[in-house]
């Protein structure tokens, strides 16, 4: 079974540009998470979905960030406009309640975002 797939792997953009990160969760997983990782702040939970519905977006830093999950196999995280402080690695992860204690979160490879 394919794992969580994220694209792009690397993104370099200029300040003020719109950035869209994409994620395909593992088939059958009903939870999807977006995390951001930096050296200073570690892994921060931005938002998570259950059955395509946003459950907790309290970690979304500000209105410039938005996330959607139009269907069970696709999610996006959008930053508009981007700023240099948004530079980080963004991870998507998925999970299912049925196997939670054995393998709670499956992470994608991450998108390394650099905003200049």
Partner 1 sequence: RKEVEQDPGPFNVPEGATVAFNCTYSNSASQSFFWYRQDCRKEPKLLMSVYSSGNEDGRFTAQLNRASQYISLLIRDSKLSDSATYLCVVNPGGFKTIFGAGTRLFVKA
Among 108, 111, 113, 115, the residue binding partner 1 under the rule CB under 8 A is 108
* DSSP labels, 60-109: --STTEEEEEEETTEEEEEESS--GGG-EEEEEEEE-GGGTTTS--EE--
Binding to partner 1, residues 22-41 (CB under 8 A): 31, 33, 35, 41
**Residue 9, number of CB atoms within 10 A of its CB:** 10
ω into 87 cis (within 30 of 0): no
With CB under 8 A as the contact rule, which of the stretches 18-26, 49-57, 66-74, 79-87 interacts with partner 1? 49-57
CA angle 96, 105, 12 (to 5 degrees): 125
β pairing state of 88-95 and 31-38: antiparallel
Residues touching partner 1: how many (CB under 8 A)?
Answer: 24
**Binding track, positions 51-90, relative to partner 1; x by CB under 8 A:** ----xx----------------------------------
Nearer to partner 1, 15 or 43 (CB): 43
Chain contacts with partner 1 (rule: CB under 8 A): 31, 33, 35, 41-43, 45, 48, 50, 55-56, 91, 95, 97, 100-105, 107-110
């Amino acid at each position: 079974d394919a794992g969580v797939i994220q694209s792009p792997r690397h993104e370099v953009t200029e300040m003020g540009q719109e950035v869209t990160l994409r994620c395909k969760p593992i088939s059958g997983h009903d939870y999807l998470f977006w995390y951001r990782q930096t050296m200073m702040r570690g892994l921060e939970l931005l938002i998570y979905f259950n059955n395509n519905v946003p459950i907790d977006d309290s970690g979304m830093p500000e209105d410039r960030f938005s996330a959607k999950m139009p269907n069970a196999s696709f999610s996006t995280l959008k930053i508009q406009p981007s700023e240099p402080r948004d530079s980080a690695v963004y991870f998507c992860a998925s999970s299912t309640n049925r196997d939670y204690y054995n393998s709670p979160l499956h992470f994608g490879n991450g998108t390394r975002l650099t905003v200049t």
